[in-house]
Chains A and B, each alone.
Chain A
Amino acid sequence: MDERQRFSEAVLPYVDDALSLARWLTGNAADAEDVVQEACLRAFGAIASVQNANARAWLLAIVRNTAFSWMAKNRPKAITTTDDAGIFEQAGLEMAEPQASPEAILIRKADAAQLENAIAALPLAYREVLVLREIEDLSYREISKVLSIPVGTVMSRLARARSSLIQRIGMAGEGKAGAA
Chain B
Amino acid sequence: MIKPSSWSSREESLILLNAYLDDELDAASALDVERRLAADPALRAEHDRIAELRSTLASHLSAQRASDDFKRRIAAIAEPSRDVVVALPPRPSRTYDWRQMAAAAAVAAAITAGGMYGVLRQNSGVNEIAAIVADHQRALLAAQPFDIASSDRHTVKPWFDSKLALSPQVVDLAGAGFPLAGGRVEIVDGKPVPVLVYQRRAHIISVVAVPRAGQMSSTAPALQTTKDGYSVIRWFGRDFEYFAVSDLPELELREFVSRWREVTPGG
Contact = CB atoms under 8 A, between A and B. Distances in A.
Interface of A: 3-4, 7-8, 11-12, 15-17, 19-20, 23, 29-34, 36-38, 40-41, 44, 89, 92-98, 100-101, 103-104, 107-108, 110-112, 115-116, 133-135, 139-140, 150, 152-153, 155-156, 158-159, 162-163, 165-166, 169
Report the interface size class on chain B: 35 or more
11 contacts: A7-B78, A19-B63, A19-B65, A36-B66, A92-B8, A98-B42, A115-B56, A134-B58, A140-B22, A156-B1, A158-B18
B64 interface: yes
B15 interface: yes
A58 to B, nearest CB: 16
B60 interface: yes
Nearest to A2: B78
Given A11-B74, A107-B52, A107-B56, A96 B18 contact: no
A140 B24 contact: yes
B63 A12 contact: no
Interface in B54-107: 54, 56-58, 60-61, 63-66, 70-71, 73-75, 77-79
A33 B15 contact: no
A159 B20 CA distance: 11
Contacts of B220: none
B60 A115 contact: yes
B18 A162 contact: yes
B22 to A, nearest CB: 7
Contact of A134 (B17, B61, B75): B61
Contacts of B50: 162, 166
Interface in B11-39: 11, 14-15, 17-19, 22, 24
Interface of B: 1-2, 4, 7-8, 10-11, 14-15, 17-19, 22, 24, 41-43, 45-46, 48-50, 52-54, 56-58, 60-61, 63-66, 70-71, 73-75, 77-79, 201-202, 249, 251-252
Query: Which of A31, A139, A156 gathers the greatest number of chain B CB atoms within 10 Å?
Result: A156
A14 B58 CA distance: 19
A159 B202 contact: no
Contacts of A37: 70, 73-74, 77, 249, 251-252
A108 B17 CA distance: 20
Query: Which of B7, B71, B75 gathers the greatest number of chain A CB atoms within 10 Å?
Result: B75
Given A7-B77, A97-B42, A156 B15 contact: yes
B19 A155 contact: yes
For the complex of A and B, the 5 pairs showing the least CB-CB separation, nearest first, are: A7-B78, A19-B64, A101-B45, A4-B78, A112-B60
A156 B251 contact: no
A33 B61 contact: no
Given A12-B75, A140-B22, A162-B50, A115 B15 contact: no
Contact of A89 (B2, B46, B75, B252): B2
A40 B77 contact: yes
A7 B63 CA distance: 22
B120 to A, nearest CB: 36
Contact of A3 (B18, B70, B78): B78
Contacts of A116: 61
A20 B64 contact: yes
Nearest to B21: A162
